[in-house]
Amino acid sequence: MKLSPFTKTYEGRQVLDFPGMELKKGTIYAVIGANGSGKSTFAKIVSGILKADRGGCPVSGGTVGYLPQKHYAFRMTTKANLLLNGKSEARACELMDALQLRHLEAKRADRLSGGETARMALARLMMNRYDLVLLDEPTAAMDMETTLLSEQRIARYVQETGCTLILVTHSLQQARRLAGEVWYFHRGKLLESGAADQVLSHPEQPQTRQFLDFYGI
Amino acid sequence: MKTSLIKAIELILSADAELLNILSVTAEMSLKSSVLALLIGLPIGIWLGACRFPGRGMVLVVNRTLQGMPPVVCGLLFYMLFSGVGPFRHLKLLFTVKIMVMAQVVLITPIVVNAMESYVAGVAPSVRETARGLGLGGVKTFGLLCNECVYQIISAYLLAFARSIAEVGAVSMVGGAISWKTNVMTTAIMQHTNRGSFSLGIALGLILLTISLIVNTVISLLQRRLSR
């Protein structure tokens, strides 16, 4: 799978300039960067929610699944929310078990707590198979225990479906735990990319080093 | 005052024929107009809330202006259109319940549009983004959006009904407040008060207040449910 180059301009100011990238099947890419570096805009454009300046969706072929930063729970039970995205009750039960949602299956999803909603939204997305999955800060509202549980399930999902996963995250620890490759965005540009260990431990660009130092890596 | 109140309660308990007729005409007008306003206003409100297009702001301003239109202006407009010198005089609708319903629809549809637009505008982006992220189709997304609006739809309907049942200016102008034909609760209260016959007016006022209390209780319960 390939991501074509694209740019995004808001009110005459270019906020994103992505050079394009070949994606490997079964790989998790972590997108890191400071606030306003264009990570979420990147995810929205790749998922087709936002349009790039020119051309259509930058993804050539294949299905795309996207979990937005703001998790939305439809006004129905947790289980019904999951079944919106797939028919298999067994899979819904397995995902609810894995993400500690089973006891909430009959509860109205719009009445779940922030962390519970985040897990429900993640489980709902994983009900289906996609060629490319984008997760925008999927564990931001979760505590450490459920974050680790969710990460395990995400890694398993990639293994079992063979999809490519792009994870937008603020957590460098999460990037280190999950990602095979890391992309560092700086002021709307992909400044550095490569294997996770290389980018996180031996960055080439001074801005990447500065960013990692600031976050204590 | 005390005697009128006792007589009013007696009128209600004895199911007075004129009182029942007024209630029946009021129910017919209010139910028909609020259902029609819902059928017209609901898709327009959802469309305005969910879609962005050039001129949308202007449409919203026009709708808000219509929402604030004085009922007597609406009544005057319909009177001019359907009276003996108006372009639609051949339809012979003046002083009928039908024209009262039409005038009410013009008055209360903007209320439904506004109530739906403001709610849908708040919820639609998240619904659309989530549904698109899951890869759901347009029809399913629209169904989900409607499902998210269920309580708001009921609330908008009740608002429209409450406005319809309590309106007096337009219906008295186009309906003429003819006894046993187009007299509704509000116009009958005015009529009987002018005649110095307070008991029927008080009876109708009590019923109107009770209906208003029920409608508002349901709306506040729904709003509490919505805010959870």
pLDDT in tens, A146-176: 999 999 999 999 999 999 999 999 999 999 9
For chain A, report the end-to-end CA distance as a whole number of angstroms: 31
pLDDT reported for residue B64: 94
3-state secondary structure of B69: coil
Using one digit for the tens of pLDDT, what is the confidence trace for A127-148?
999 999 999 999 999 999 999 9
pLDDT reported for residue B140: 92
Using one digit for the tens of pLDDT, what is the confidence trace for B163-186?
999 999 999 999 999 999 999 999
Using DSSP bridges, classify how beta strands A132-136 and A64-67 pair: parallel, antiparallel or unpaired: parallel
B126 neighbourhood in chain A, CB within 8 Å? 68, 70, 72
Total tally of structural domains belonging to chain B: 1
Cα B224 to its chain centre, rounded Å, is 22
Range A59-88 average pLDDT: 93
B129 neighbourhood in chain A, CB within 8 Å? 49, 68, 70, 72
Q: Per the CB < 8 Å rule, is A68 touching B130?
A: yes
Q: Per the CB < 8 Å rule, is B147 touching A74?
A: yes
Using one digit for the tens of pLDDT, what is the confidence trace for B17-48?
888 999 999 999 999 999 999 999 999 999 99
pLDDT reported for residue B227: 62
Q: Per the CB < 8 Å rule, is B129 touching A67?
A: no
The residue of chain A nearest to residue B126, with distances taken between CA atoms, is A72
Q: Per the CB < 8 Å rule, is A84 touching B126?
A: no
Among A56-65, A168-177, B89-98, whose mean pLDDT is lowest?
A: A56-65
Q: How far is B150 from chain A (nearest CA, A)?
A: 10
Q: Is the pLDDT of residue B126 over 60?
A: yes
Q: For chain B, list the strands marked E by DSSP.
A: none
Closest CB from B126, B132, B134 relative to A85: B134
Q: In this structure, what token pair is assigned to residue B58?
A: 């202007």
Residue with tokens 């026009």: B62
Q: In this structure, what token pair is assigned to residue B164?
A: 């319809």
pLDDT reported for residue A105: 96
pLDDT reported for residue B215: 83
Using one digit for the tens of pLDDT, what is the confidence trace for A84-120?
999 999 999 999 999 999 999 999 999 999 999 999 9
Q: How far is A110 from chain B (nearest CA, A)?
A: 8
pLDDT reported for residue B14: 83
Q: How far is A181 from chain B (nearest CA, A)?
A: 23
Residue B201: pLDDT band by 50, 70, 90 thresholds? confident
Find the Cα–Cα–Cα–Cα dihedral B36, B37, B39, B45, rounded to 10°: 170
B149 neighbourhood in chain A, CB within 8 Å? none
Q: Is the pLDDT of residue A62 over 90?
A: no
Residue B115: pLDDT band by 50, 70, 90 thresholds? very high
Question: What is the identity of the amino acid at B31?
Answer: L
Q: Which of A72, A84, A113, A165 to mutate to test the interface with B (most CBs of B within 10 A)?
A: A72
pLDDT reported for residue B151: 86
CATH number of B11's domain: 1.10.3720.10
Closest CB from B130, B147, B228 relative to A72: B130
The residue of chain B nearest to residue A86, with distances taken between CA atoms, is B134
- What domains are defined for chain A? 2-214 (3.40.50.300)
- Can you give the residue range of the structural domain that contains B72? 2-227
pLDDT reported for residue A63: 93
- Share the mean pLDDT of chain B: 91
Run of H or E residues at A67: strand A64-67
Residue A216: pLDDT band by 50, 70, 90 thresholds? low
Using one digit for the tens of pLDDT, what is the confidence trace for B41-80?
999 999 999 988 999 999 999 999 999 999 999 999 999 9
pLDDT reported for residue B13: 82
